[in-house]
Amino acid sequence: MADLLSTGISALLAYQKSLATTGHNIANANTEGYTRQRVEQVSRLGTALGSGFIGSGVEVSTVTRVADRFATERLMFDASNMSQQETLQTLTGRVDKILSDRNLGLTDPLSEFYAAVDGVATDPTSSAARQVLLGKAELLAGRFQNLQNEFDSLNLEVNRQLQQQVGEINTLTEQIADMNDRIAIARGLAGGQPPNDLLDQRDELVRELASHIGIATVTQDDGALNIFTAGGNALVLGTTVSPLRLVQDDFNADRYGIALQQGNTLIPLTRFVSGGSLGGLLSFRRDVLDPAAGDLGRVAVALADTFNAQHAEGVDLYGDLGGDFFDVPAPGVSAATNNDGPAVVGVAYDDVGGLTGETYLMRFTGSAWELQSAETGDTVATFGAASGTFTAAGLSIAIAAGAVAGDRYEIRATRGAAGSLDVAITDAARIAAAAPVRTEAALANDGTGVVGRPEVLDVADADLLLDATIVFDDPPGTFTITDSNGTSAPIAFTVGGNIDYNGWRIQITGTPAAGDTFQVLPVAANSGDNGNARLLADIRNLGVLDGGTRSLNGGYGALVAQVGAQAQQAAQRVAAQTAIREHDQSFRDSVSGVNLDEEAANMVRFQQAYQASAQIIALTDTLFQTILSAVRR
């Protein structure tokens, strides 16, 4: 009877624990991250008798979480990927809105600017048309500046969000380390049994951490969870935390990066962080914001450089050669804060068609300089000398002596240039609408020769504005050119061929007669000539960017299309990741979630088993009382 009583009591206690666990499951059916628990029962060892083994009841071996480790890890990865893509979608969508909105973008101001240039070409002496052109130029420059200001604001916002994310990550890693300590203590007090509710709480902290930064986890024998970044750097080792730190960029004080603090050492992590909101912020800045700002600056630089070059070949209403129409700064150059040498690097634009909008890093090896893409790390060019002037990627790079091996410089070829674009002239009369020289044919000419408009080849030629007279010889197979410097030797004539002299070029068609005279004369002040204005208007269609294959409008259109495609791709990735997360969450819930119908059925089953166990104890008591009664007789 003692065995029967012991069996009944063991069953009663086992099902009491099963009922308690079922009630715990029901109570936490809607608790975020809760994992269904199950009482694991095993039979006690039987008692050996001559007729065989007699069972001795049941005991509870442990209470387990009904969890799938791979499902838990998948949800961790989903949280990381989803948060990264949502951050990218939100911020990239804002850049797309800025560039494509008619009230914010460049499309309308560019069109209005070119229309104003057409207005000056139509009536080059009109002060009203000239004032309109200045106004539209200032509007266009202002729009470039506004766009760059928007990009700068986004960069500051990224800095603020990086600071917030780093703070939240450090708080979570501290909490996980503390949870590791509590779990280890609880396991020790419980003889190695798992503290399921603490494990659930830690899993929730880990999932939240994964939504901030991509991580990998490894479980120790004592139940503590080690956490590493995607690049393999330890964030949590047992109860030890290596916090993240916000650090200033080596080249830009207004740009933050990420480092891992281990003791007194800071390990740079910016290039290696992926996943989570932190990875999304860094990816947005690296893959969307910086390239967009670089391409916007490239359009601004190309506009200013091309328009200035053509404007310099014209004459204003004062009769002076045109100066710069736009002001645009030189490329930005910054020395790394830890450089040891005093070398100075100066950069200027050499070929706008070769500009890419990228940011470059220059590193001195001790005997040569390497120019690398900051985005990809690929080597763009190598300069095999310690100092000198070199050209690459549309830039002219002048390096003074004094560099030490390991010295680095960052070259922001066009990033930020749009913010400094401005109109260089304030007097509308200074708009150089006229060509600097004009042509005339003598009224007494007998031949059919016709002279075309002159083209300026070299505005810096000192003799460009000298009167030049072309006289055809007899027979008219040659001609001579006379200016204040004297008369040239006879020059062979080709119908329609180029005649280059004093920095200008003309063509004469038809058949000039012997003695026919043509003149190339400087344009006087207040001229109604529109030769240069027409060439300025033609810039809208010129191949300027990408090696001369793309116009300015095309360059801006490509920028808008690129960012639009990135925004669309980000939205598509969010939709795809949402579907993946829902599928993985559904699978996890099917394994680890609380099903109230199932728990209700378990409640009834365990209740019946509990009642039956009580009946065993009651039966044991009856049998014992029967024996006592028999003895009393």
pLDDT tens track for 351-373: 999 999 899 999 999 989 999 99
In one letter, which amino acid is 390? F
Residue 626 binned pLDDT confidence (cut-offs 50, 70, 90): confident
> Does the pLDDT at position 6 exceed 80?
yes
Going by C-alpha positions, the residue among 560, 552, 554 that lies closest to residue 536 is 552
At position 57, the amino acid (one-letter code) is G
Q: In Å, how far from its chain's centre is CA 320?
A: 46
Report d(CA 195, CA 424) in Å as an integer: 73
Tokens 């500051």 belong to 156
Of 192 and 143, the structure prediction assigns the larger pLDDT to 143
Mean pLDDT score, 171-181: 96
pLDDT at residue 46, as a whole number: 76
Number of H-type helices and E-type strands within the chain: 10, 31
Mean pLDDT of 96-120: 93
Largest pairwise CA distance in the chain: 166
| Residue 2, pLDDT score | 52
Higher pLDDT, 56 or 270: 270
Question: What average pLDDT does the structure give for the chain?
Answer: 91
pLDDT of residue 221 exceeding 90: no
Name the strand (E) or helix (H) holding 62.
Answer: strand 58-65
Q: Compute how many other C-beta atoms are within 10 angstroms of the C-beta atom of residue 113.
A: 23
Per-residue pLDDT for 321 more than 60? yes
Model confidence at 326: pLDDT above 70: yes
- List the domain boundaries for the chain: 2-66+594-632, 72-286+549-584, 437-522
pLDDT band at 427 (very low <50, low <70, confident <90, very high): very high
Cβ 409 vs Cβ 351: under 8 Å: no
Least confident of 133-147, 429-443, 457-471, 590-604: 590-604
Q: What is the C-alpha to C-alpha distance for residues 110 and 439, in angstroms, rounded to an integer?
A: 33
Tokens of 16: 């009491």
Distance CA(319)–CA(417), nearest Å, equals 32
Q: What are phi and psi of 462, to 5 degrees?
A: -65, -25
What average pLDDT does range 289-298 have in this prediction? 95
Backbone φ/ψ region at 628: left (φ over 0), alpha (ψ -120 to 50), beta: alpha
Nearest alpha carbon to residue 176 among 150, 133, 205: 205
At residue 550, what are phi and psi to the nearest 5 degrees?
-135, 135
Q: How many CB atoms lie within 10 A of CB 81?
A: 24
The predicted model gives 317-335 an average pLDDT of: 92
The span from the CA of 464 to the CA of 347, in Å, is: 31
- Whether omega for the bond prior to residue 331 falls within 30 degrees of 0, making it cis, is no
pTM over 0.85: yes
Cα 288 off chain centre by: 3
Q: How confident is the model at residue 609, as a pLDDT?
A: 84
Is the model's pLDDT at 3 over the cut of 80? no
Half-sphere exposure of 314 (CA within 13 A, CB side): 31
Strand partners, 53: 48
Q: What is the CA radius of gyration of the chain?
A: 41
- Angstrom CA distances, 182 to 21, 31, 63, 159, 189, stand at 22, 21, 18, 35, 11
Q: Look at residue 633 in the predicted model and tell me its pLDDT.
A: 57
pLDDT band at residue 190, thresholds of 50, 70 and 90? confident
